[in-house]
Amino acid sequence: MNDFLRRIAGAAALLLALVTGPAVAQAVKPAPLTILISIDGFRADYLQRGVTPSIAALAAEGVRATAMHPSYPSLTFPNHYTLVTGLRPDRSGIVDNNMEDPRKPGVAFSMGKVDISHDPFWWDEAEPLWVTAEKAGVRTATMFWPGSDLPIHGVQPHDWKMYDKKFLADQRVDLVLAWLDRPPAERPRFVTLYFDEVDSAGHAAGPDSQEVNAALARTDAAVGRLVAGLKAKGLFAEADLVIVADHGMAATAPERVTYLDDLLPADGWHAVSMGSEATIRPMPGHEEEVAEALLAPHPHMTCWRKADVPVRFHYGKNPRVPPFVCLGQTGWLIESHASVIGHPVGRGAHGFDPYDPLMDALFVAHGPAFKTGAVQPAFDNVDIYPLLAALIGVADRPNDGRLADLTSSLAQ
Ligand code: AMP
Ligand code: ZN
Ligand code: ZN
């Protein structure tokens, strides 16, 4: 090899080392404190509304992404578990907010039914970062996060609190700050903090409402309270803050609904989930009829057999995914006449195509690991997990993410 070729080969090897995961992870210096904040339903473009000055200031001094794509389905539980496992919902086991498993006949998982949802059976297919961190001797604390209210692989965060929607945003911040008041050796090094108000307002009043703007302002004030508290303790400069959402929000309306019972034979099917997406199991003897009805073209809904779900959704291999998967056109819900009686159609929903800009989620990061004033191109939310693992200095488990996607954000 002549000198010129050798130099090119060396440069190529260096480039390769820079873009591969482990090399990037080695370049990230673990910080004494990493705080992962989730603002449920904070659509990426809400940041431009001018109603979230504290988060905007963190973005200006740190980084923000043009968009972070949720994983399919763009719902709360699957995406929160993806954020802390790096696994697409089809691989993490939390395939939907509402699930059934052939190994547990007659049992239906839903977010509100804690006697069922707190059974580790549903969560043990993956290992969230706080479990890996605790096993590695890194102390963790969760101020709410789906999966944190139960032991997974036998482990819970050192500090955690049972989910309580009525526990106010400021109370959540104050509890995190109280945990951080401990002597350094007893302080958590990885903390999660979850806010739900923006999502609730988005469902009730729609993404373009004053209600959402008011919820954004209140949640932003809670983030400001956290920043002020960290500054007062002298912890702000050394903390890495990663602020994300699980998905965006699209406007919905009672007149934009596809009714499954108008299409399917009575008593011939069972919907495991309904809403922006629906998952459907035909009843024995009705397989053909149900397939024919669902797989026919529909004006505002597309259905697939689970094996035929578009590849970009990475969905359909898990036994928990029922035989048919249907997705509403963004803004169009999939319901039954009975389901909307118990649960009236709201003004906003998510769960639609994760690559629709209306489903784009917030990503803002600030701290010693991040650039100042940088804008990160769009990426998939599976990348958050290897980022967090590098920030807290634990080895990431096999996952679907790539830290190299976030090199535009990283200071090194
Ligand atoms: P979604 O139906 O996907 O919009 O879910 C959002 C809702 O999930 C929020 O309004 C919360 O009340 C609920 N939620 C968030 N975290 C938890 C948790 N750890 N346990 C139970 N419910 C939760
Ligand atoms: Zn959500
Ligand atoms: Zn929601």
Q: Which atom of ligand 1 is nearest to the CA of 77?
A: 3
For the CA of 349, the nearest ligand? 3
Instruction: Give the distance (Å) from ligand 1 centre to CA of residue 373.
Output: 32
Confidence (pLDDT) at 260:
98
10 Å CB burial of residue 23 (0-12, 13-18, 19+) is middle
Half-sphere exposure of 359 (CA within 13 A, CB side): 25
CA R_g for the chain = 22
Topology given in CATH for the domain delimited by 257-345:
Gyrase A; domain 2 (3.30.1360)
CATH 3.40.720.10 domain position(s) in the chain: 26-249+355-409
With the most atoms of ligand 1 within 8 angstroms of its CB, the residue from 156, 199, 333 to mutate is 199
Write out the residue limits of the CATH 3.30.1360.180 domain(s) in the chain: 257-345
pLDDT confidence of residue 393:
97
Q: Are strands 108-109 and 99-100 parallel, antiparallel or unpaired?
A: antiparallel
Residue with the smallest CA separation from ligand 1 atom 2 is 76
Q: What pLDDT does residue 79 have?
A: 99
Q: Would you list the DSSP string of 56-72?
A: HHHHHHSEEES-EEPPS
**Helix or strand run (H / E) with residue 35:** strand 33-39
Instruction: Look at ligand 1, atom 5, and give the residue with the nearest C-alpha.
Output: 76
Residues 331, 256: contact at Cβ < 8 Å?
Answer: yes
- In terms of Cα–Cα distance, which of 137, 135, 147, 141 is closest to 83? 147
Catalytic residue positions, numbered = 76
Atom of ligand 1 nearest to the CA of 147: 19
Ligand 1 mutation pick, 119, 150, 196, max ligand atoms within 8 A of CB: 196
Centroid of ligand 2 to alpha carbon of 317 (angstroms): 23
Distance 104 CA to ligand 2 centre (A): 26
Q: How far is the CA of 276 from the centre of ligand 2 (A)?
A: 13
Q: Is the CB of 160 under 6 A from ligand 1?
A: no
Q: Is the CB of 200 under 6 A from ligand 1?
A: yes
> Cα 331 from chain centroid?
20
Low-confidence ranges of the chain (pLDDT < 50): 1-6, 8-20
Residue 259: its pLDDT value, please? 98
CA of 367 to the centre of ligand 1 (A): 28
The pLDDT value given to residue 21? 54
Does 149 contact ligand 1 (Cβ within 6 A)? yes
Nearest-atom index, ligand 1, CA of 351: 3
**Ligand 1: does its nearest atom lie under 6 Å from the Cβ of 206?**
no
What is the predicted pLDDT for the residue at 412? 76
Which regions of 152-202 does DSSP assign to beta strands (E)?
159-160, 190-195
Q: Are 34 and 189 in contact (CB under 8 A)?
A: yes
Q: Whose CA is nearest to atom 9 of ligand 1?
A: 196
In a mutational test of the pocket of ligand 1, which residue from 163, 166, 249 has the highest number of ligand atoms less than 8 Å from its CB? 163
Supply the pTM of this predicted model: 0.95
Domain 26-249+355-409: assigned CATH number: 3.40.720.10
User: 253 alpha carbon to ligand 2 midpoint, in Å?
Assistant: 19
Res 160: pLDDT: 98
DSSP 283: P
Query: What local confidence, expressed as pLDDT, does residue 22 receive?
Result: 64
Atom of ligand 1 nearest to the CA of 145: 19
Atom of ligand 1 minimally distant from the CA of 144? 19
